[in-house]
Amino acid sequence: MAEMQNSNPTILNSADLPTRLRPTATRKSEYGGIFTSALPLAPVDFESAPSSDSEDDNLLEEPIDEQEIYDLISSISDPEHPISLGELAVVSLPDIEIKPTLPDVPDSPLQTVTVLITPTITHCSLATVIGLGVRVRLEQSLPSRFRMDVRIKEGTHSTGDEVNKQLADKERVAAALENGALMGVIAKMMETCH
């Protein structure tokens, strides 16, 4: 098998090691992605942000909200067709939610982003790939204190529960990110992002 990282020759527009971008003081945008710097599209590598979590809080920023999440993921293309997930209504703004991860720990900066996906066909086997793509995109773009919860919207897929379990399994996702072929497909899906 090919070595996973940096194996996809078609995406060479970013040379840096993949990092989670810090929530620098960028403006919200009405169109396109929020982060102006080039997003590394090579498979993610959970590079540690500054080890102290207090640094995240120091930065002046507008809190990341659902609209920004939507902007990040709506431009991902469907793996099979050159149409974006937003256009296919696979992702939609009302199906995005941000909540504190640990409500019982008030000091915790952790936030959980829940994205509900509506696959185009009810038994589409690529639902997991799409879900993975959304997850990867968000993990690459958001600061470390954000946790992703990507799920199939209830009632929209014949094996929704199974897909959700798979998408929620940290170990599976981590291993998937080391699968060159899969990452190639996902990288292609994210070519239309920015």
Partner 1 sequence: MSPKVTITHLSDLTPPSQERTWLTAPHPTLPLVATCSSDKTIRVYSLTNFTLLSTITGGHKRSVRTAAWKPHMTGESVLATGSFDATVGIWRRWDSYGQEGDAGMGMSSGDKQIPTDISTAASNGTGTDTADREEDEEEWRFAVLLDGHDSEVKSVSWSASGMLLATCSRDKSIWIWEDLDDGDNNFETVAVMQEHGGDVKCVSWHPSEECLASGSYDDTIRLWREDLDDWGQVACIKGHGGTVWFLDWEGEETEGNWSGPVADSVSESALSALQAQWRSQRALSGPRLLSCSDDRTVRVWRRQPKESQQTGPLSSATTGIPSIIRPTGTDEVWEEDAVLPRAHELPVYAVAWSKRTGLVASTGADGRIALYEERFVTREQEQEQQADSDAMDTTSGDVLRTEWVLVGVQDGAHGIYEINHVAWAKRADRRPGGEEEVLVSTADDGSVKVWTLTR
Partner 2 sequence: MSAILSADDLNDFISPGVACIKPVETLPPKDTKNQEDAYEVTTEDKVQPEDLPPAQISLTDCLACSGCVTSAEAVLISLQSHAEVLNTLDAHPEIPLTHEPHGVGVNNTEDSKEGKIFVASVSPQVRASLATTYGISEKEAGYMIDQLLSGPQGLRGGGKHGNGFTWVVDTNAMREAVLVLTADEVSDSLNSGESSAMSQSDDSLPKRPILSSACPGWICYAEKTHPFILPHLSRLKSPQALSGTFLKTVLSKSLGVHPSRIWHLAVMPCFDKKLEASREELTDMSWRQGDSSGSESQPVRDVDCVITARELLSLASSRGSSLRDLPLQPLHSSFNPPFPEKTLDSFLSLKRSRAEQSLATGTSGGYLHHVLMTFQARNPGSELVVNRGRNVDVVEYVLMSPEGQPILKAARYYGFRNIQNLVRKLKPARVSRLPGAKPAVRPAAGRRQPMSRNAVSTGSSGSDYAYVEVMACPGGCTNGGGQIRVEDARETLGPSQGESLDASMKPSPHEQRAWLARVDEAYFSMDSESESELETQSQLLSLADKEAKIHERLRSWSEYMNIPLSKLVYTTYRKVESDVGKDQTPANDTSRVVELAGKIGGGW
Task: Give the burial class of 175: count Cβ atoms within 10 A of its Cβ; 0-12 exposed, 13-18 middle, 19 or more buried.
Answer: exposed
Q: Output the smallest distance, CB 181 to partner 1, in A.
A: 13
Q: Are 126 and 91 in contact (CB under 8 A)?
A: no
Looking at 26, 67, 101, 158, which residue binds partner 1 (CB under 8 A)? 101
Integer Cα distance of 65 and 27 in angstroms: 12
Integer Cα distance of 177 and 175 in angstroms: 5
Nearest to 64 by CA among 19, 17, 118, 22: 22
Applying CB under 8 A, which part among 29-37, 84-92, 143-151, 173-181 lies near partner 2? 173-181
Q: Output the smallest distance, CB 178 to partner 1, in A.
A: 5
Partner that binds at residue 153, options partner 2, partner 1, none, CB closer than 5 to 8 Å by kind: none
Contacts to partner 1 by CB under 8 A: 1, 3-4, 45-49, 51-53, 56, 101-102, 104-105, 107-110, 144-145, 147, 165, 168-172, 174-175, 178
